[in-house]
């Protein structure tokens, strides 16, 4: 796995993990890489210092610092996603239209989730409509290297 430091056109910084170095380029070209904050698909790699393996023994280094923070965060995100899927209405690709109608009082006030384009998300946030990205589904063990 290769970790890239990424940034979107709105200057939100985040990281992405890819199986091979060419995977980022291929996925970005297909519009599959998006900012978790604003959903922009205008994402590019940042300059990073390479991780170089040395010959000195460094002891056991755990990915999450050894205190379970990463696992705890992954479980919390999965819990949030499950809660939304079980309690909110799925509106599919009409999310932007429905979120705006709820905000303007033209539709029943309720929790919804669905899909929206980066442009739709930007327009909603500029107009003060409260929206947030849904945490991604946890990777299935059969899909992880």
Is residue 60 one of the residues assigned to a domain?
A: no
Do 73 and 127 fall into the same domain?
Answer: yes
Q: Is residue 50 helix, strand or coil? A: coil
Is residue 108 one of the residues assigned to a domain?
A: yes
Asked if residue 121 has pLDDT above 60, the reply is yes
The pLDDT tens digits for 23-32 are 888 888 888 8
Q: What is the model's pLDDT at position 111?
A: 92
Is residue 54 one of the residues assigned to a domain?
A: no
Across all residues in the chain, what is the average pLDDT?
83
Is residue 30 one of the residues assigned to a domain?
A: yes
Is residue 78 one of the residues assigned to a domain?
A: yes
For 63, counting Cβ atoms within 10 Å of its Cβ (0-12 exposed, 13-18 middle, 19+ buried), the class is exposed
In the chain, how many domains are there? 2
Mean pLDDT of 108-130: 92
| Phi, then psi, of 20 in degrees rounded to 5 | -140, 160
Q: Which domain holds residue 101?
A: 69-133
Do 79 and 129 fall into the same domain?
Answer: yes
**Is this prediction's pTM over 0.85?**
no
């Amino acid at each position: 796995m290769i970790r890239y430091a990424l940034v979107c056109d709105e200057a939100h910084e985040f990281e992405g993990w890819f199986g091979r170095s060419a995977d980022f380029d291929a996925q970005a070209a297909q519009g599959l890489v998006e900012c978790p904050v604003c959903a922009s698909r205008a994402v590019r790699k940042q300059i990073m210092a390479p991780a170089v393996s040395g010959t000195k023994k460094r002891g056991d280094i755990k990915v999450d610092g050894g205190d379970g923070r990463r696992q705890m965060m992954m479980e919390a995100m999965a819990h949030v996603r499950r809660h939304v899927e079980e309690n909110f209405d799925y509106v599919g690709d009409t999310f932007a239209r429905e979120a705006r109608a709820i905000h303007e009082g033209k539709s029943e006030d309720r929790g919804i989730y669905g899909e929206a384009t980066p442009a739709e998300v930007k327009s909603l946030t500029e107009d003060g409509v409260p929206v947030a990205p849904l945490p991604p589904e946890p990777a299935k063990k059969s899909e992880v290297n």
